[in-house]
């Protein structure tokens, strides 16, 4: 892997993610909602609609709650159980876990979603471990959210585009390989810059999967 001066790729990507709050907002909201759903399933011992003798209770709808973050306010739906026993520490623990969460998202954006990292960050957010099935569900939702963020269309015209790249070790289908992480900087007509990171196989590096309307 090529060594470069200054920030690591993940640190640079973290800064870029934070500079695009509208996209990161939805990624974090989706992950937090999935974590709440997983917590309820763990508390009830069953997923929604599942028939099992291990079930400890039943759902009873949701109530809305706002989570204030550095990328804006997240409107979340907190699940309730009929007995009123379910509670979550996510809202109380989020502020001291936010920095680690964003750093983890940046790493997974570059290197791919990692079960180990998802397990670690969810335990930090909620104060307890999750089952393998819950971690798998959170993994899937996170992977989908990061993919949607990476492939979102660009609406603004950018007459100037600057591209640079470095290699990172990533895991694809259980195999560790080198992939190029492209950093694109678009300059608009007012001279303002905006950056986006892409993780892209080098064979396709010249043809990233997003286009600007100025093309």
Tens digit of each residue's pLDDT (9 = 90 or more) over 76-94: 999 999 999 999 999 999 9
Structural domain span for residue 127: 9-150
The residues, any chain, with a CB within 8 Å of residue 139's CB and separated by 6 or more, are 113, 115, 118
**175 & 76 share domain:** no
Higher-confidence position of 46 and 14? 46
CA dist 35 to 142, 192, 204, Å? 10, 37, 34
**What is the pLDDT confidence band of residue 212, given thresholds at 50, 70 and 90?**
very low
**52 & 130 share domain:** yes
pTM above 0.75, yes or no: no
What's the structural domain count of the chain? 2
Q: Is residue 21 part of a domain?
A: yes
């Amino acid at each position: 892997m090529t060594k470069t001066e200054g920030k690591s790729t993940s640190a640079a990507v973290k800064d870029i993610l934070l500079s695009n709050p509208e996209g990161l907002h939805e990624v974090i909201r989706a992950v937090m909602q999935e974590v709440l759903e997983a917590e309820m399933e763990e508390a009830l011992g069953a997923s929604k609609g599942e028939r099992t003798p291990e079930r400890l209770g039943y759902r009873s709808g949701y109530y809305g709650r706002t989570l204030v973050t550095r990328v804006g306010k997240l409107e979340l739906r907190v699940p309730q159980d009929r007995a009123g026993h379910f509670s979550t520490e996510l809202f109380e623990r989020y502020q001291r876990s936010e920095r680690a969460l964003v750093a983890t998202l940046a790493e997974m954006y570059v290197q791919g979603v990692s079960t180990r990292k998802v397990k670690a960050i969810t335990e930090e957010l909620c104060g307890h471990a999750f089952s393998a099935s819950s971690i798998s569900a959170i993994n899937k939702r996170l992977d989908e959210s990061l993919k949607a963020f990476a492939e979102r269309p660009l609406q603004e015209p950018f007459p100037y585009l600057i591209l640079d790249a470095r290699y990172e070790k990533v895991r694809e289908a259980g195999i560790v390989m080198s992939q190029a992480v492209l950093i694109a900087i678009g300059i608009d007509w007012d001279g303002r810059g905006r950056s986006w990171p892409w993780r892209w196989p080098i064979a396709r590096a010249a043809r990233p999967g997003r286009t600007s309307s100025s093309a």
